[in-house]
Structure 1
């Protein structure tokens, strides 16, 4: 871990992680693009709030910790404990129905969640982009595939997803996402890459003590990681 991440190593536990270490992913994205101090940030899919804590502390900004599945009161108690309750606002939202004013946010951050809801044509333009200011940024890191498998998934992946093809079909390669996000009249993609911290993020998950992390490690030992990547996108609104 670099010095910035070192401060947060206490959150790499089964209590806070919900998958590959979201702080590793967010840190790499923030190494690619800087967020100005005193921004208004939407942390979409904030989980248990550790990415919101990181954003609030490292950018000195106001962060909306937007999450559908974690009770906002639970997150609020965490934010009070962590000393950021004045900088992080917990809120329960569905990404399909964001309850904000248009042009409200300087930045939207989405770590390990975008693929769950955004893989539909024009979703980004209709459901996310309106809430960004002009020149606002969408910073996205999500799991994906090294190359598109064209529905010809290896048995190992099918078993990993427990034959849930609805979830499996949400995993795509970077090229697929770039072709989906092709409305360049409204925005430009200023960064697109596969994240370097793939192994570190997964290792933190394997070692955090969570039973799902232990299960995922078994699949990786059989070669699952050969098919997967983490995709990073930075999109700027025109």
Structure 2
């Protein structure tokens, strides 16, 4: 049987499970995303929201790129040990940073990738403009992760209610991401689509790493891709200048009367 993820299948299942940082198989998503990207050896790549860094190892090993493995929640020390043991420490660098306060130079990266995390911070109307400032003009910005096959425009479907939480309002469809990025004025979207049978891959991974997660498994099985699945979006940073982020506003205090006489 031919696997839909031939690159990922070369990695030991125990190594993949040891790097789990969320509800998705990060190698599957990274492989699917990079199928539509042109990555070249030596490129500087930001792996934003990389979790425990499995996707960062994959990017370097498969494409020879340098990777800045950046995450807020997970320890950079653990990532450093993983990178050392994988033999990639000279090209994959663990960084702890908030996605909204990145410590990088303007136009530093040749590509920016985010696996199953962008929806946590990227739905902000201003965020695409902010992030694009770290990519050189022409560089791709690419995301893949959990999402919707179509938007939920009315009441929440009954079969999703046992699993759905208010914060899941951040999940969106590929057409939504296309519109969201295009209206930023600094990104030209080249791809926006859903993974074929993405709901099944999502369900397969839950059975593999979280078989006791009965609620999510039951909802995925009931939904069968009607709403839930994996989505990706890829854009090119245009030559349009980005608006520089406002970090401080200088003011001078002058004492004045508090009340009228």
Pick which of 204-213 and 108-117 moved more.
Answer: 204-213
CA 1:96–1:211 in 2, change beyond 3 Å: closer, same or farther?
farther
| Per-residue CA distance 1:43-100 (angstroms, 9 max, x = gap) | 0010111100000111111101101110100111111111111111001111111110
* Alignment map for 1:207-226 (pairs within 5 Å): 207-210=207-210, 213-223=213-223, 225-226=225-226
Q: Would the alpha carbon gap of residues 138 and 153 (structure 1) be closer, same or farther in structure 2, given more than 3 Å must change?
A: same
Could you tell me which runs of 5 or more consecutive residues in structure 1 were left unpaired when the two chains were aligned.
none
**Structure 1 residues 15 and 120, CA, compared in 2 at 3 Å: closer, same or farther?**
closer
Counterparts of 1:95-134 in structure 2 under 5 Å? Answer: 95-126=99-130, 128-134=131-137
Question: CA 1:131–1:98 in 2, change beyond 3 Å: closer, same or farther?
Answer: same
TM-score normalized with structure 2 length: 0.82
Instruction: State the Cα RMSD in Å.
Output: 2.0
- 1:7 pairs with one of 7, 10, 16: 10
Residue deviations 1:173-193 (CA, integer Å, cap 9, x gap)? 222222222236422111111
| 1:165-184 paired onto structure 2 within 5 Å | 165=166, 167-183=167-183
Q: Which residue of 2 aligns with 1:71?
A: 75
Q: Secondary structure at the match of 2:119?
A: helix
Cα deviation for residue 203 of structure 1 reads: 4.0
Normalised to the residue count of structure 1, the TM-score between the two structures is 0.89
Structure with greater Cα Rg: 2
Tell me: higher relative CO, structure 1 or 2? Use CA pairs within 8 A at least 6 residues apart: 1
Cα distance change, pair 139–13 in 1 and its aligned pair in 2 (3 A): same
CA distance in 1, matches of 2:128, 2:103: 15
Moved over 3 A (4+): 211-215
The alpha-carbon deviation at position 197 of structure 1 amounts to 5.7
- 2:183 paired with 1:154: no
- Is 1:91–2:58 an aligned residue pair? no
Give 1 or 2: higher helix fraction: 1
What SS class does the counterpart of residue 222 from structure 1 fall into? helix
